[in-house]
């Protein structure tokens, strides 16, 4: 479908441009939201007759958005969510969640302004674009964490998710003490002592070996006599 843009639309064009888009995109989004008109002869005349007013209105809204940008750009909001041990959220962060958190901090934004390029499904820090006007956009940070303390760490630049994996990968159990003064190849004293104790426990007590051998010999002789 051919349309006439009434405002700048990302990846399509600016005010007054005539572009071709998919019918569904035009019917479901551009036309009902008054971002475009069907490009027929009657609408072309209407647009040209009102072009000056449309451009003036757009300029005024752009100016207001630029003033508003100072109150939104760079804001950081914290969302506390439950997650698995791997940092995967039980669910995902929605646009509504972000809008509510921003507005609680005085941002005054709507869902239509939030551009969430991909779902947020793990803990971490995420940059989110906010379009205050078709020609004015800012960036906010969404800090998704499992606790306020974890959120503070992430705000300071700590990669909590990476640290979590490192802790899980760390070896557990016996850790051999290393003598920094030992010669290369020298076996630590603790290891040799442990080995000696193990060998002592496994070895038979004095005389036990000889007694067992004598008993086996006697039993053999008795069987031969019978």
> For 139-159, what is each residue's pLDDT tens digit?
999 999 999 999 999 999 998
Length of the chain: 226
What is the SS3 assignment for 2?
A: strand
Q: Is the dihedral of CA 15, 17, 22, 24 positive or negative?
A: positive
Encode 64-92: b = buried (16+ Cβ within 10 Å), e = exposed: ebeebbeebeebebbbebebeeebebeee
Q: What is the mean pLDDT of residues 192-203?
A: 54
The architecture of the domain spanning 76-169 is Roll (3.10)
The answer, yes or no, to whether residue 190 has pLDDT greater than 80, is no
Rg, C-alpha atoms of the chain: 38
For the chain, what are the domain ranges? 2-69, 76-169
Residue identified by tokens 């002869």 is 41
Contact 93, 142 (CB under 8 A): yes
Quote the tokens at residue 81: 């969510």
Q: How many angstroms separate the Cα of 65 from the Cα of each of 14, 81, 89, 95, 96?
A: 17, 32, 34, 20, 21
Q: Residue 13 forms beta bridges with which residues? A: 9
Residue 63: per-residue pLDDT: 97
**Among 11-25, 102-116, 134-148, 187-201, whose mean pLDDT is lowest?**
187-201
CATH T-level topology, domain 2-69: Ribosomal Protein L9; domain 1 (3.40.5)
Contact 144, 124 (CB under 8 A): yes
Residue 226: per-residue pLDDT: 45
Residue 112: per-residue pLDDT: 93
Residue 174: per-residue pLDDT: 45
Which contacts (CB < 8 Å, 24+ apart) does range 148-157 have?
A: 148/78, 148/80, 150/123, 151/78, 151/80, 154/123, 154/124, 154/125, 155/76, 155/125
Which has the higher per-residue pLDDT, 105 or 218? 105
Residue identified by tokens 């994996």 is 165
Q: What is the rounded distance in angstroms from the CA atom of residue 51 to the CA atom of residue 30? A: 18
Residue identified by tokens 């010999």 is 217
């Amino acid at each position: 479908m051919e349309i006439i843009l009434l405002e700048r639309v990302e990846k399509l064009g600016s005010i007054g441009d005539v572009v071709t888009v998919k019918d569904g995109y035009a019917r479901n989004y551009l036309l009902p939201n008054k971002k475009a008109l069907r490009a027929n002869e009657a609408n072309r005349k209407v647009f040209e007759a009102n072009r000056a007013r449309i451009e003036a209105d757009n300029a005024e809204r752009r100016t207001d958005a630029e003033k508003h940008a100072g109150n939104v750009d760079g804001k950081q909001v914290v969302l506390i969510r439950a997650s698995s041990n791997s940092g995967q959220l039980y669910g995902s962060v929605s646009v509504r969640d972000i809008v509510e958190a921003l507005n609680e901090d005085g941002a005054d934004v709507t869902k239509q302004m939030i551009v969430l390029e991909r779902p947020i499904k793990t803990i971490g820090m995420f940059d989110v674009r906010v379009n205050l006007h078709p020609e004015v956009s800012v960036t906010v940070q969404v800090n998704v964490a499992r606790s306020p303390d974890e959120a503070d760490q992430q705000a300071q630049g700590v990669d909590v998710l990476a640290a979590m994996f490192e802790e899980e990968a760390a070896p557990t159990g016996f850790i051999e003490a290393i003598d920094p003064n030992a010669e290369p190849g020298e076996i630590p004293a603790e290891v040799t002592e442990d080995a000696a104790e193990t060998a002592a426990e496994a070895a038979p007590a004095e005389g036990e070996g000889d007694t067992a051998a004598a008993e086996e010999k006697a039993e053999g002789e008795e069987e031969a006599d019978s």
